[in-house]
Amino acid sequence: MNRRAQFLEVLGIATEWVPRARTGAPAEAVPAMAAAPAAMPDARAPAAIPAAAVAAEVAEITEVAEITEVAEVTEVTEAVSAPPMQPAARGPAVPALVPAGPAPGSAQADREAAIAAMDWPALEAAVAGCTACGLCQTRTQTVFGVGDRQAEWMLVGEAPGENEDLQGEPFVGQAGKLLDNMLGALGLARGRNVFIANVLKCRPPGNRNPEPAEVAQCEPLLRRQIALVKPRVIVVLGRFAAQSLLRTTTPIGKLRGTVHAYEGIPVVVTYHPAYLLRTLTDKARAWEDLCLAREVHDRAGARA
């Protein structure tokens, strides 16, 4: 059984899909890519990849998202036949989920500057001993992240859950198994050419949604991880992580299918594995997202 078939089996979809042969379809038929928004003044703020830079990718990614043989999952057909996605509508300049950056010269600005200069050992120590937000009081341990530190792929989730808090590793349990199978479908494995981390390094009590202030304190740590890994592509898992990283309040359904950017690195948004475990119909869309991420990764490699 090939990788694609294995992946679809994991997703609970019996019939294998075959990406349509590339025919050089016109770019306007392509559903996915975003036009470039205006440049954001904050160097840390994300922006969609400039249209010119991705124009060549657009035509080919169209065919990746298309499926010639679909069975058993009605929503797959709906997804494929849906009209082209519009560029992700940006939220307010400073979305409610992520506060504005620190004032220059403030203690927080100094902290962020210090984090931005850390190497791996220093960053690990900083996370392990971090008390920058109230989550330090309820965690069992911090969850730094796991994987290949020179990986070409980086996966970013929301925050540790109960099992992750206990084991100190992101994405364990059933959601972790699904994630591992998703990685396998891409020819990846935990610890091999992929680094996995969360936006928050400590578990919110009761798995509640993270607070904006917690994200503001923790994001510099993730930002430094990304800067050290230097992945070709970031796959963001779930609404919260996507909105936090991209600084937007746009729903995940509209963030999917578009290549965004964080710190100049392409970002593809898909659903969180825990959500996919509950929602069979969106697993097909997750496969489309991973195909898009693979395409972006391969293109980035070709340009390197």
Binding residues vs ligand SF4 (CB under 6 A): 127, 130-133, 135-136, 142, 200-202, 214, 217-218
Could you give the C-alpha distances from 109 to 40, 41, 213, 244, in angstroms and in order? 19, 17, 14, 19
The nearest distance, CB 179 to ligand SF4, in angstroms, is: 21
Q: In this complex, which beta carbon is closest to ligand SF4, that of residue 209 or of residue 279? A: 209
Q: In this complex, which beta carbon is closest to ligand SF4, that of residue 130 or of residue 196? A: 130
Q: In this complex, which beta carbon is closest to ligand SF4, that of residue 97 or of residue 185? A: 97
Q: In this complex, which beta carbon is closest to ligand SF4, that of residue 82 or of residue 125? A: 125
The nearest distance, CB 234 to ligand SF4, in angstroms, is: 19
The nearest distance, CB 128 to ligand SF4, in angstroms, is: 9
The nearest distance, CB 42 to ligand SF4, in angstroms, is: 20
The nearest distance, CB 102 to ligand SF4, in angstroms, is: 13
Q: In this complex, which beta carbon is closest to ligand SF4, that of residue 127 or of residue 252? A: 127
The nearest distance, CB 57 to ligand SF4, in angstroms, is: 34
Which has the closest alpha carbon to 274: 200, 194, 202, 171?
171
Which has the closest alpha carbon to 261: 300, 298, 288?
300
Q: What gap in Å lies between CA 254 and CA 86, rounded to an integer?
A: 8
- 8 A C-beta contact, residue 182 and residue 176: no
- How distant is the alpha carbon of residue 92 from its chain centre? 21
- How distant is the alpha carbon of residue 137 from its chain centre? 28
Q: What gap in Å lies between CA 76 and CA 91, rounded to an integer?
A: 28
The nearest distance, CB 143 to ligand SF4, in angstroms, is: 9
Could you give the C-alpha distances from 224 to 66, 214, 229, 294, in angstroms and in order? 36, 16, 9, 24
Q: In this complex, which beta carbon is closest to ligand SF4, that of residue 17 or of residue 171? A: 171
Q: Which positions ≥6 away from 187 have C-beta within 8 Å?
A: 3
Q: What gap in Å lies between CA 99 and CA 89, rounded to an integer?
A: 19
Q: In this complex, which beta carbon is closest to ligand SF4, that of residue 88 or of residue 135? A: 135
The vertex-91 CA angle with 243 and 287, nearest 5°, equals: 40
